[in-house]
């Protein structure tokens, strides 16, 4: 400090009490007096001095949080009509392309489940239903994307209902007439005990059985209890889809009242025999139920699943996507989805919906496809070894990945065929080209599953700590005033306790160390691990 500066800024002498207070508040980091002196000098002068090499060595290397780099959805796997729609909707809504692509997988599964299956070898058959979940924060137009991609399903379902409504009403009246006739005959028989009346009752009962109750056909449901879901499956040829732009299903998994009622989700994934007992009425027996799930929700809905949900393998059955949102970089007035693009997409999906084979068509792989399938299986199998991707909490999920990718391969085979020809002429052999497209999804789904399963382990403190860490590092300083960080984060993190927990977690991970400084030694300051700023200083 120059003499002139000294005259303009006379140094105030601290009282004995202030010196004692400052000394009591000091946190000498890891016994490193040199680092502490450098920090205190920078606090008082505003000049940050680079730490000596010895001080950097005193810090532990930061223990990074589980954060994962994801890759974008490879939309080139789809036929041209679907590619055009996915791109157009993503641009129109200014959303990640992954969102529309994942919803489309759910739409294809809804249209083709039970109509086709894929059998890579004798004894190994995969149905074409899928469980997908796309996770994005609120306010990112998830519903707009969902509605654009699924509108064709709801319109087709409404048409089926309108077509069936007169038949349903006619059947209802016929059954009511037969039931009233039986009631009257039973009353007469009770009075007369006439055996001819009993024979007539039995004959009418047989007639009633030949005319079972009709119900309106459904393609989708959104928020049914597990019990009602079984009933809907029974009514709709043991096939239905849970489609929703909300995460109510995952919230339901957290409900203690639903504990032990997950068989429909487990067996509906693979088409296993399901028998559900009822206390007050007859139970239901489903021989080959197939359930499709397509959920678009906020990431918070997968946090803190109860252990029994993981133990039963429910999350392991999902293909997850958690793309990075583009909020802050969106165009203000992007082009709308062209009418001809939307029309072509809807016509393609309707073609798939209207195709009704007499029995399930079994798709098989070409010889070349089988060869690259073997490579895929070995590639995934290696990741179950020590230090592999699937060694820990992804083990159950990884064990189903090959089957999941094959299901998508089946969907792609039919979609490509329908986009270029008549479905009546579809070949049952899945080509090498289709398999190569589907197998592009291996890395995509692995990276996104890593990210989502990491989120499942998080809590609010974890999220707050990551947010604070990024704000602190953006300062690009070794010493940061806590008050500066508070001002920049107070809209997101509210309350002293939340800040304290987040700072403590960052300190535990060796990102920062909390100290007291300032003129009187009681101002909250943050020391940043020099290793984190090394690249910025070079």
DSSP 211-266: SPPP----SEESS--HHHHHHHHHHTTTEEEEEESS-HHHHHHT-GGGTT--HHHH
In terms of phi and psi (left: phi > 0; alpha: psi -120 to 50; beta: otherwise), the region of 453 is: alpha
CB 154 within 8 Å of CB 111: no
174 Cβ contact partners less than 8 Å away, ≥ 6 residues apart? 211
| pLDDT value for 278 | 65
End-to-end CA distance of the chain: 28
| pLDDT value for 26 | 41
| pLDDT value for 146 | 97
Pairwise CA distance, residues 331 & 318, whole Å? 32
| pLDDT value for 371 | 96
| pLDDT value for 296 | 96
CB 104 within 8 Å of CB 82: yes
Is the dihedral angle over the CA atoms 136, 141, 146, 148 positive or is it negative? negative
Pairwise CA distance, residues 452 & 63, whole Å? 20
Pairwise CA distance, residues 81 & 418, whole Å? 10
Q: How far is CA 304 from CA 253, 470, 475, in A?
A: 10, 24, 33
Which positions of the chain have pLDDT values less than 70? 1-57, 66-67, 278-281, 458-459, 535-538
| pLDDT value for 9 | 43
Q: Cα–Cα–Cα angle for 225, 112, 381, nearest 5°?
A: 85
| pLDDT value for 343 | 98
Each residue's pLDDT tens digit, 346-372: 999 999 999 999 999 999 999 999 999
Prediction pTM value: 0.76
| pLDDT value for 66 | 63
| pLDDT value for 308 | 85
Helix (H) or strand (E) holding 12: none
Domains of the chain as residue ranges with CATH: 75-164+216-457 (3.40.50), 459-537 (1.10.10.10)
């Amino acid at each position: 400090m120059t003499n002139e500066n000294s005259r303009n800024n006379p140094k105030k002498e601290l009282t004995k009490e202030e010196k004692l207070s400052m000394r009591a508040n000091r946190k000498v980091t890891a016994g490193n007096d040199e680092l502490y002196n450098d920090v205190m000098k920078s606090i008082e002068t505003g000049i940050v001095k680079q730490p000596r090499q010895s001080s950097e060595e005193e810090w532990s290397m930061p223990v990074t949080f589980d954060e994962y780099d994801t890759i974008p959805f490879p939309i080139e796997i789809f036929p041209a009509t679907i590619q055009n729609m996915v791109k157009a909707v993503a641009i129109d809504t200014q959303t990640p392309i992954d969102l529309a692509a994942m919803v489309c997988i759910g739409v294809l599964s809804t249209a083709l489940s039970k109509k086709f299956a894929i059998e890579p070898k004798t004894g190994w058959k995969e149905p074409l239903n899928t469980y997908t979940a796309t996770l994005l924060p609120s306010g990112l137009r998830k519903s707009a994307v969902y509605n654009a991609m699924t509108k064709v399903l709801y319109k087709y379902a409404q048409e089926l209902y309108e077509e069936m409504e007169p038949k349903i009403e006619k059947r209802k009246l016929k059954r009511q007439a037969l039931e009233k006739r039986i009631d009257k005959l039973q009353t007469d028989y009770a009075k007369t005990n006439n055996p001819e009346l009993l024979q007539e009752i039995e004959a009418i009962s047989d007639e009633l059985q030949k005319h079972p109750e009709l119900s309106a056909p459904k393609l989708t449901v959104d928020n049914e209890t597990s019990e009602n879901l079984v009933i809907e499956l029974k009514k709709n040829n043991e096939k239905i889809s849970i489609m929703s732009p909300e995460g109510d299903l995952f919230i339901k998994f957290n409900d203690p009242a639903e504990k032990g009622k997950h068989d429909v989700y487990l067996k509906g994934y693979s088409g296993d025999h399901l028998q559900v007992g009822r206390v007050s009425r007859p139970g239901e027996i489903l021989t080959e139920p197939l359930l499709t799930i397509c959920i678009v929700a906020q990431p918070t809905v997968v946090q803190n699943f109860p252990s029994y949900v993981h133990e039963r393998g429910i999350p392991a059955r999902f293909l997850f996507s958690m793309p990075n949102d583009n909020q802050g970089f969106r165009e203000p007035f992007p082009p709308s989805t062209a009418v001809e693009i939307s029309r072509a997409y809807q016509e393609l999906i309707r073609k798939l919906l209207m195709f009704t084979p007499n029995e399930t068509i079994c798709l098989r792989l070409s010889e070349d496809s089988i060869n690259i399938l073997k490579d895929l299986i070995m590639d995934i199998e290696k990741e179950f070894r020590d230090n592999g991707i699937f060694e820990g909490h992804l083990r159950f999920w990884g064990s189903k990945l090959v089957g999941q990718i094959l299901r998508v391969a089946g969907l792609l085979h039919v979609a490509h065929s329908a986009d270029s020809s008549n479905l009546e002429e579809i070949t049952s052999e899945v080509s090498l080209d289709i398999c190569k497209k589907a197998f592009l999804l291996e890395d995509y789904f692995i990276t996104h599953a890593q990210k989502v399963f990491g989120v499942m382990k998080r809590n609010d403190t974890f999220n707050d700590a990551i947010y604070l860490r990024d704000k602190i590092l953006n300062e690009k300083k070794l010493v940061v005033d806590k008050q500066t960080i508070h001002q920049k984060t107070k809209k997101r993190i509210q309350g002293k306790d939340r800040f304290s927990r987040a700072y403590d977690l960052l300190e535990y991970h060796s990102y920062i160390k909390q100290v007291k400084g300032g003129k009187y030694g009681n101002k909250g300051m943050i020391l940043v691990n020099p290793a984190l700023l090394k690249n910025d200083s070079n």
